[in-house]
Chains A and B, each alone.
Chain A
Amino acid sequence: MSSNSKDKDNRRRRRSSSLMYQEPPESLEQQSDQAVLPNLNAQWVNAKGAWLIHIIIILLLKIVYDIVPSVTQETSWTLVNITYMFGSYLMFHWVRGIPFEFNAGAYDNLNMWEQIDNEDQYTPAKKFLLAVPICLFLVSTHYTHYDLAYFMINFLATLAVVVPKLPALHRMRLAFLNPEPQPTDQ
């Protein structure tokens, strides 16, 4: 409420013309709101079975695409790869905030990847979540017999989920690849 913090917020506001900007650290008020309760939205990645479910989902996707008639192994693996990458991009990097109402929107500016493990980098969960898409890519590109077109599609899809996971891009926002930020001005 103080005028002092108003000025600060105004200075930090994103200019709509810039293509890339870094999400500023949260205000003290917001940090204390975040600390009120454990972040139930991001905590489950460390829960039992949360790692196994990735493998299970990938296998199920493979089965589902194999069942569809006239889908070749190449297409099937590529579809599995694309579906998994799309889903995980949507979940970890596109959607921001928390769908539940328990800390007055204290995480509204962070996507799920940034919420995991309290923003710590190179945690076991994050390592696993980065390794899965890379392994899936290596496998799928193997079974698509290294056809150039399939290789490119799979490779780009993998890059889309691997690159935003790197610590260098922590809190970085690119126009077009991210939804518009919430106005946080006073």
Chain B
Amino acid sequence: MESSSIPASTSLRVPDTVATVAANTLWLTEKTTDLLQRAPGSAVVVRYVQSSYQNDPIRSVVELLLFLLAVRYVLAPQYSPRKKGNHVELSEKEVDELVDEWTPEPLIEEQPELVQLSENLPVLHKDAPSGPRTKLRDGRTVINLASYNHYNLSNDQQLVESAVSTIKTYGVGPCSAPGFIGTFDVHMKLEKDIAAHFGTDDSVVYSQSFSTISSVISAFCKRGDIIVADRAVNFPIRKGIQASRNIVRWFDHNDMGDLERVLAKLVSERRPLTRRFIITEAISENVGDMVNLPRLLELKHKYKFRIVLDETWSYGIVGRTGRGVTELQNVDAANIDILVGSLAGCVASGGGFCTGYQIMVEHQRLNSPALTFSASLPTFLATTASAVIDRLQSSEGAKDMATLRERIDSLRTQLDRSDWVTCTSAPENPVLHLVLKDQHIKNRRLTRSEQEFLLQECVDECLNNHSIIISRLKSMPLMDGLHPRDVEKEYQPQPTLKVCATAALSKKEIEKAGIAVRHAITAVMKRSKWQRGTAPEA
């Protein structure tokens, strides 16, 4: 207050303007302080500021800085660090250049030749029977060795009649997911039948065989969990692994030594305790051979992993009552933590199942995407599957399986005589995978796609000259959006021919068919087109 008199005394020496400015400033400060003091709550602030300056300016400065930081933070404008990194400013010219450079993709893309090949399929007649003898659209009768209907149960009169009567009672589609109103008594009976067949606690039935294993994997694994999988696992397993976003390690196909190496390495790494799974197939879809289950279980127990076993290609086929590899190799199904199988194929129904401990099964009912989001199995398929499972355990089923084994042996004996191909399937597998012998691939320098073309010629030759339908392995579509360079790095099964044995043909007929397939392969291999690189034969 007393300082207001200073300008007056100094005004004699300094110019008048300065004196006026100074006086005005002081007057303004006074006014503001006065106003501030009149504002409500200002006394508190003044008291706070006065008391915080306790003869310690450093502490006050620290507090002031902290306060200023808060003020600065509160006043700063909002921004997103995510968007910041991606945004690129383009000039008008650059935009024009980009527009000029752009060429639209064709609406319908030109298919690669190999895909066109796969689309060139034989078309059946509209009244063609589904058995081993069928009719093409051009009226020709052919033998179908490309069907998984190994026991020809889909033409069994009794099963067809019971399916029809189920449709009359329940209708065709259940029209709802199992967790909603899609579960009927027949579904519950089927689940009990499967569990009784395996001797497990409980089981759950899926409506599609393909999505069963994908869905089971994603119900149990999440990001951070560890999966050790066979390099040759089928496409739905790969999709399941991909969808569950976990850490994957691959081991060489059915190589238990390599599996042990991978497991030992994983265990030795210091990792947080997460769920750990070994995923493999009982009978491989891509190669056809069989897993060594006792050894797998040994490793599982040693390294404390859980097993997910896909019995899609072995259920109903191997084992005394068709229970799959667990029965064949004398392993208690209770040792397999998650056992998945298929009711499509030789069971002549549809859908898939997962069986094991009660708690594992119950978890899926709410957590498995395919169970919660898709309609349940049509009821007539459920009753058919139940009937077939009963049949498998009866003397009739035993007779079917014995016949199928004989047919497989007959067919295989014929195909094994071929100089050009070898069979990679297990002796029990009715799907015979024929791959070109290494020496021929090497001598003729056949690339993967050339092998596919060659095998497709074999398929065509069989159909055109011998009236037998066989097929190629087409179970691994290329990954979408991958560069061909990266596709090479991914696992791709060796191109194979698939010849499916069936119990519905007599021994003579299947032998004849085997000989025909063998001759067809020989005929193609001797074509001049595929002779390049070979030394002239002596």
Contacts and interface: CB of A to CB of B under 8 A. Distances in A.
A162 interface: yes
Interface stretch (B186-194, B243-251, B398-406, B457-465): B243-251
Contact of B73 (A3, A127, A135): A127
Nearest to A114: B81
A182 B224 contact: yes
Contact of A138 (B66, B222, B272, B490): B66
Interface stretch (A41-49, A71-79, A81-89, A118-126): A118-126
Among A104, A120, A137, A141, the most chain B Cβ lie within 10 Å of the Cβ of A104
A2 interface: yes
Contact-residue bracket for chain A = 35 or more
5 contacts: A1-B241, A120-B78, A131-B73, A141-B63, A162-B69
A10 interface: no
Nearest to B48: A142
Interface of B: 48, 51-52, 54, 56, 59, 62-63, 66-67, 69-70, 73-74, 76-82, 85, 222-224, 238, 241-242, 244-245, 247-248, 271-272, 479, 482, 486, 489-490
A155 interface: yes
Contacts of A131: 70, 73-74
Contact of B479 (A1, A25, A104): A1
Given A104-B223, A127-B73, A118 B54 contact: no
| For the complex of A and B, 9 pairs with smallest distance between CB atoms | A105-B223, A3-B489, A134-B70, A122-B76, A120-B80, A122-B78, A104-B222, A146-B54, A127-B74
Nearest to A4: B486
A161 interface: no
B245 A2 contact: no
A99 interface: no
Contacts of A3: 486, 489-490
Contacts of B69: 134, 162
Given A146-B59, A170-B81, A2 B70 contact: no
A158 B66 contact: yes
A119 B489 CA distance: 36
Contacts of B223: 30, 33, 104-106, 108
Interface string A145-176: 11000010001001000100011001000000
B66 A119 contact: no
Interface in A65-111: 101, 104-106, 108
A118 B78 CA distance: 12
Contacts of B271: 183
Among A25, A108, A146, the most chain B Cβ lie within 10 Å of the Cβ of A146
B54 A2 contact: no
Nearest to A29: B245
Among A106, A141, A162, A183, the most chain B Cβ lie within 10 Å of the Cβ of A183
Nearest to B86: A25
B67 A138 contact: yes
A186 interface: yes
Given A130-B70, A131-B70, A104 B63 contact: no
B80 A183 contact: no
Nearest to B225: A105
Contacts of A30: 223, 245
Contacts of A145: 54
B81 A119 contact: yes
A105 B272 CA distance: 14
A142 B48 CA distance: 8
Contacts of A158: 66
B345 to A, nearest CB: 27
Nearest to A124: B78
A138 B62 CA distance: 10
Contacts of B82: 25, 118-119
Nearest to A106: B223
Contact of B222 (A101, A120, A137): A101
Contacts of A123: 78
A122 B244 contact: no
Contacts of B241: 1
Among B52, B70, B76, the most chain A Cβ lie within 10 Å of the Cβ of B70
A170 B82 CA distance: 11
B56 A146 contact: yes
Among B222, B244, B479, the most chain A Cβ lie within 10 Å of the Cβ of B222
Nearest to B77: A122
Contacts of A137: 66
B244 A119 contact: no
Contacts of B77: 122
A41 B18 CA distance: 63
B370 to A, nearest CB: 16
B490 A134 contact: no
Nearest to A3: B489
Interface in A1-54: 1-4, 25, 29-30, 33
A151 B70 contact: no
Among B79, B223, B242, B486, the most chain A Cβ lie within 10 Å of the Cβ of B223
Nearest to A133: B70
B381 to A, nearest CB: 31
Contacts of B67: 134, 138
A63 B5 CA distance: 52
A121 B70 contact: no
Contact of A186 (B56, B62, B247): B247
Contacts of A2: 479, 482, 486, 489-490
Contacts of B85: 25
Given A1-B479, A123-B78, A185 B247 contact: yes
Contact of B59 (A1, A106, A151): A151
Given A101-B222, A130-B73, 16 more contacts: A2-B479, A2-B490, A3-B486, A3-B489, A105-B223, A118-B80, A120-B78, A121-B81, A122-B76, A130-B70, A131-B70, A131-B74, A134-B70, A146-B56, A162-B66, A170-B81
Contacts of A122: 73, 76-79
Nearest to A167: B81
A155 B62 contact: yes
Contacts of B59: 146, 151
A186 B242 CA distance: 11
A123 B80 CA distance: 9
A107 B180 CA distance: 31
Contacts of B54: 145-146
A125 to B, nearest CB: 11
B224 A105 contact: yes
Contacts of B79: 120-122
A14 B161 CA distance: 64
